[in-house]
Homo-oligomer: A and B are copies of this chain.
């Protein structure tokens, strides 16, 4: 089943139908972006040209002499039906329809969309869209997003897959991820989801070795698709975490959904209960979605809920404690033998309970000693390190020293918190992130990320036992 989507992500040859020579036009941007990033062959289709930017151009996809795996369609809506027919005749497996003017504009468009489905029925050809941005694959270079790099920067390769019902939001997410250095594996803007929907994509992505976590922006499921969505999700969650950001939670929000994607959002309470039942994790906001996804993309799943907090700021330690306890995570007291060893290594007024407060007199080696102890200790399943980089004795070597320690204990999740803005803070963020330790601005967000890891561990266990 899921292999039917392979051509969307790993095609050999892509036809851009409606490719244009006019700078700024969608058909121009899509062709140019694909040409510069996709490793396979990109062929322009447009009866107006015999050649486009030095590449032979064909009047129809049917005129292309070689096999075509994927077609990206950017022609106006009324012309799309015939083009899709041509694609099916040609044996194209994956069609992305970027063009708008379908069910989102009313009955006329809905009829057009219905026809599309009829055409592909039983053919093995699948459609993403219409009214979407399509597929971004950081590994294969498939990138059908008609936004040039200066508007939407492309993020580094990573292990997060994004499925979004809103193209604008997904574009903003990629642009944001690029600036923050957050690694993305794939992003799919699914538009009206006439054919391919969230469930289909989850089935594909669960098999994708580049993907460690699936993050979904959802306004509403299509009528009749809820059952399959949940069945697929339950299977997927046994192997990979799924995070959903559901918009349209309130009465007014539900109304806003109807005027945006036309989804019948239905009662949020029903969604929330169903998500919980199949082990889907809900995000509260776009940032919350990324906070949790970043942890899943880089950290192992913990064995339990016991967190050790190491901090050089007592206040941040208190806030971390409040946040962790509110989320139902545990902060066991530091074991006596660990305390004893730390007493030799830290400053006299360091607090050795949990949080371990290395204080403002902290030196690099104190942090190193504290992390070695808590990472080694059987008393803790996860570690939160809080680093206020203002104390005078901390050096610019701390980040590398931390990475050395964290590397030796890769079986335990570690997340970091830092709040500041000077050189030392920025270097800490950069080095830790580059070495796979997610860094958060405040302990509340780091705590939520740890909670997600622990919660998923428990949910997966429960699903596997059922």
Interface residues in A306-359 by Cβ distance below 8 A to B read 312-319, 321-322, 324-326, 331, 349, 351, 353, 355, 357
Complex contacts, A105 vs chain B, CB 8 Å: 349
Complex contacts, A466 vs chain B, CB 8 Å: none
Interface residues in A354-390 by Cβ distance below 8 A to B read 355, 357, 360, 388-390
Say yes or no for A219: interface residue by CB 8 A criterion.
yes
Assess whether B319 is in contact with A247, with CB atoms less than 8 Å apart: yes
Assess whether A326 is in contact with B250, with CB atoms less than 8 Å apart: yes
Say yes or no for A424: interface residue by CB 8 A criterion.
yes
Assess whether B261 is in contact with A314, with CB atoms less than 8 Å apart: yes
Assess whether B249 is in contact with A326, with CB atoms less than 8 Å apart: yes
Complex contacts, A322 vs chain B, CB 8 Å: 247-250, 252-253
Say yes or no for A259: interface residue by CB 8 A criterion.
yes
Assess whether B318 is in contact with A151, with CB atoms less than 8 Å apart: no
Interface string of A239-265 (1 = CB under 8 A from B): 000000001111111011101110000
Say yes or no for A284: interface residue by CB 8 A criterion.
yes
Please report the C-alpha to C-alpha distance between residue A419 and residue B217 in the assembled complex, in whole angstroms: 15
Given known A151-B389, A314-B261, contact A172–B420 (CB-CB < 8 A): yes
Complex contacts, A247 vs chain B, CB 8 Å: 315, 318-319, 322
Say yes or no for A274: interface residue by CB 8 A criterion.
no
Assess whether A318 is in contact with B286, with CB atoms less than 8 Å apart: no
Say yes or no for A421: interface residue by CB 8 A criterion.
yes
Contact of A321 among B253, B422, B424 (CB under 8 A): B253
Complex contacts, A147 vs chain B, CB 8 Å: 390, 392
Complex contacts, A204 vs chain B, CB 8 Å: none
A447 CB to closest chain B CB (Å) equals 10
Contact of A442 among B177, B180, B287 (CB under 8 A): B287
Say yes or no for A24: interface residue by CB 8 A criterion.
yes
Say yes or no for A411: interface residue by CB 8 A criterion.
no
Assess whether A360 is in contact with B325, with CB atoms less than 8 Å apart: no
Given known A168-B360, A172-B388, A248-B322, contact A315–B421 (CB-CB < 8 A): no
Complex contacts, A166 vs chain B, CB 8 Å: 313-316
Interface string of A128-148 (1 = CB under 8 A from B): 000000000000000000110
Say yes or no for A165: interface residue by CB 8 A criterion.
yes
Complex contacts, A442 vs chain B, CB 8 Å: 285-287
Please report the C-alpha to C-alpha distance between residue A338 and residue B84 in the assembled complex, in whole angstroms: 41
Assess whether A165 is in contact with B315, with CB atoms less than 8 Å apart: yes
Please report the C-alpha to C-alpha distance between residue A173 and residue B420 in the assembled complex, in whole angstroms: 6
Complex contacts, A312 vs chain B, CB 8 Å: 168
Assess whether A171 is in contact with B219, with CB atoms less than 8 Å apart: no
Contact of A319 among B285, B389, B444 (CB under 8 A): B285
Say yes or no for A465: interface residue by CB 8 A criterion.
no
Please report the C-alpha to C-alpha distance between residue A347 and residue B383 in the assembled complex, in whole angstroms: 51
**A contact residues vs B (CB 8 Å cutoff):** 24, 29, 105, 146-147, 149-153, 164-169, 171-173, 175-180, 217, 219, 247-253, 255-257, 259-261, 284-287, 312-319, 321-322, 324-326, 331, 349, 351, 353, 355, 357, 360, 388-392, 419-425, 441-444
Beyond A247-B322, A249-B322, 9 additional pairs, beta carbon < 8 A: A165-B315, A166-B316, A176-B421, A177-B421, A178-B422, A248-B318, A285-B442, A285-B443, A287-B442
